[in-house]
Structure 1
Amino acid sequence: MGVHQVITGVAALRREPRADGPLDTQLLFGETFVVDEARRGWLHGRAEMDGYEGWVADTDLTPDVSPASHRVRALRTYVYSRPDLKSEPVHLISMNARVEAGERDGNYLQVQGGGWVHQRHLAALNAFEPDFVAVAERFAGTPYLWGGRDSRGLDCSGLVQTAFAAAGMPVPRDSGDQETFFAERWDRVDPASRKQRGDLVFWPGHVGIMVDETGLLHANAGYMETMVEPIDDAVARIMPGEGPVRTLVRRTLP
């Protein structure tokens, strides 16, 4: 049935074709979805961004695909009905949403669907952030949401995927796949060794990012938010349910 594009601020990708079906992940404004089946207001297919499969409400998608030229670099931004900050917002879209930027009016660029976004909140598709950790730190305080990858709610692997995407490195969606991905590309380090900023810490079913030697940034269900937690506290808290840290990886810079 072809490629469709997300036309809402964020679209739920669900395991089953119903509004209360389990949320597996989310698609952001402008992302594309390859549809292979339609069923009573739901479309089944695969997210082109990371290959995730599931069901999306047909009202969140359009078959009229606009080629993206920019991505959202702000944590989140409004799509306004007119190039005027006092006009009515049409959507609230999050970091890494993809837009086709067209006509310019003052500080605003028109995007697909006819709305307007402030140009300071956009970056060219090939303009990436230099520090994925700094990107992830901007999400501190964001509520935890299982399956979320939106600035209003995300889970542990959604945080990692979002931060790396902004830095120009596509990574898998789920923490287990991320663990395998990074273990094949980065250096594995003894989990008991001294940590460094940028280390990725993996438990079975969970991942976090070290912001320094002692602080672990992670979206976690224990506190239901994205936060920096002392790594020793996180290890002690997670141990009874998930066990010890399984993998610690570190990027070796050239």
Structure 2
Amino acid sequence: MTEEFDPRTTLARPDLAEQALEGIVRAQRYAEPSRRQCAVSAAAIRKAPDNTSEQQDQLVFGEAFDVLDEKDGWAWGRARRDGYVGWVEAAALAEPVLAPTHRVSALRTYAFAEADHKSAVAVLLTLNSLVTVEAREGRFVKIARAGWVVEDHLAAFDTFERDAAGVAERYLGAPYQWGGRESLGLDCSGLVQQALYACGRACPRDADMQAREAGETIEAGDGFANLRRGDLVFWEDHVALMVDEARIIHATSWHMQVAVEPLAAAVARVGAPTTFRRL
């Protein structure tokens, strides 16, 4: 593979690449990917087809995944939403891909077997899951491949939040999980990505990608005086959001959870930030 192509987001390996890369990336053969859809609460995107392999990213319910290869119950492909390439358990994927009508706007919500909160839980849905409403009954709506959800926990597919920092604050206390994007555990760039998705903004997966592509570069000023709520603060392999002129929120392996702390405290512990960006 040519070095200029990032293997994290290029659907290619020495033996196989997607058809669109023929003549651009060298591979033994080329094929068209088939599109599927995450049908579980969250599915790990792993480095190798093995549950002990590193989780690099996650799909949440309703997100599409382009499959180019399958092996021993695993599907190799690319997440449509953020472009990340890896292996997902094939059993977590369904077809055909259903067009979403709504997104989950609550941090998390249950889908029930019936339109009754006393019925069995079918699946837990996390913020930004993409769902297709099939029917309504009272205050519940039926979600394809999931079950019945309280309608107040959904928003129209094209209705978004305005305050990314406010979205991030809803995750306070969520455990740190490398490669995670779900409400039950996520990492630094996953938190930023989920906050921006809720605000209707595209966002790449990893912190180094976000440092290049999310918003515009700004000068922090003396003593970080120019920073304001919603600004992104980057270190070499970490990212946080400003919640006000002095504090950040981030998912950090130091606290092992999503936490708010003074930017000055993080700088004293980690070192000076490398980049600042404004959305």
- Give the TM-score range, shorter chain: over 0.9
Cα offset, 1:113, TM superposition:
1.6
Q: Please identify, of 82-91 and 61-70, the stretch whose mean Cα deviation from structure 2 is larger.
A: 61-70
Specify the alignment match of 2:128 in structure 1.
96
- Give the structure 1 partner of residue 277 of structure 2: 249
Q: Which has the larger radius of gyration?
A: 2
- DSSP 3-state at the match of 2:141: strand
- Which SS does the other structure have where 1:147 is aligned? coil
- Measured in 1, the distance between the counterparts of 2:54 and 2:100 equals 29
- CA shift, 1:187, in A, is 4.1
* Distance apart, 1:205 and its partner CA: 0.5
Match of 1:5 in 2: 37
Q: Residue 278 of structure 2 aligns to which amino acid in structure 1?
A: R
- 1: CA distance between counterparts of 2:185 and 2:92? 18
Match of 2:218 in 1: 188
The gaps in structure 1 that reach 5 residues or longer are none
SS in 1 for 2:134: coil
| C-alpha distance after superposition, 1:22-61 (max 9, x if no partner) | 1001000011000000000000000000110000001101
Segment drifting more, 202-211 vs 230-239: 230-239
Q: 1:107 — aligned with what?
A: 139
Distance in 2, Cα, partners of 1:250 & 1:227: 21
Is the 8 Å Cα contact of residues 129 and 168 (structure 1) preserved in structure 2?
Answer: yes
Deviation, structure 1 residue 193: 2.6
TM value normalised by structure 2: 0.86
Structure 1 residue aligned with 2:76: 44
Counterpart of 1:215 (choices 235, 247, 252) is 247
The residue number in structure 1 matching 2:94 is 62
CA contact (8 A) 1:2 1:63 kept: no
Letter of the structure 2 residue corresponding to residue 67 of structure 1: A
Are residues 1:177 and 2:209 paired?
yes
Paired position in structure 2 for 1:78:
110
Question: C-alpha displacement at 1:64, in angstroms?
Answer: 2.3
1:199 Cα deviation after fit: 1.4
Q: Following TM superposition, by how much is the alpha carbon of 1:100 offset from its aligned partner in structure 2, in angstroms?
A: 0.3
Could you say what the CA RMSD is over the residues aligned between the two structures, in angstroms? 1.1
Distance 1:21 1:121 in 2: 34
Structure 2: distance between partners of 1:57 and 1:141: 28
TM-score if structure 1 supplies the norm length?
0.94
Hey, what does 1:135 align to over in structure 2? 167
Tell me the distance in 2 between the aligned counterparts of 1:201 and 1:85: 41
Aligned residues of 1:73 and 1:96 also touching (Cα < 8 A): yes
Query: For residues 213 and 190 of structure 1, do their structure 2 counterparts lie closer, same or farther at Cα, with a shift above 3 Å needed?
Result: closer
Contact 1:26 1:148 in 2 (8 A): yes
CA contact (8 A) 2:36 2:95 kept: yes
Matches within 5 A, 1:148-167: 148-167=180-199
Matched with 2:3 is none
Could you tell me which runs of 5 or more consecutive residues in structure 2 were left unpaired when the two chains were aligned: 1-32
Report how far residue 245 of structure 1 moved.
Answer: 0.6
1:93 aligned counterpart, secondary structure:
strand
Amino acid at match of 1:132: A
User: Structure 1 residues 112-121 or 198-207, which shifts more?
Assistant: 112-121
User: Are the aligned partners of 1:11 and 1:26 in contact in 2 as well (CA < 8 Å)?
Assistant: yes
**What is the CA-CA distance between 1:132 and the residue it aligns to?**
1.0
Q: 1:189 touches 1:250 (CA, 8 Å); kept in 2?
A: no
> Cα offset for 1:73?
0.2
- Whether the aligned pair in 2 keeps the contact of 1:36 and 1:43 (CA below 8 Å) is yes
Aligned partners of 2:123 and 2:146 also within 8 Å: no
- Matched-pair contact (CA < 8 Å) for 1:201–1:210: yes
Question: Secondary structure of 1:103's match?
Answer: strand
Q: Look up the equivalent residue of 1:60 and give its one-letter code.
A: A
CA distance in 1, matches of 2:40, 2:276: 37
Q: Aligned partners of 2:125 and 2:146: how far apart in 1?
A: 14
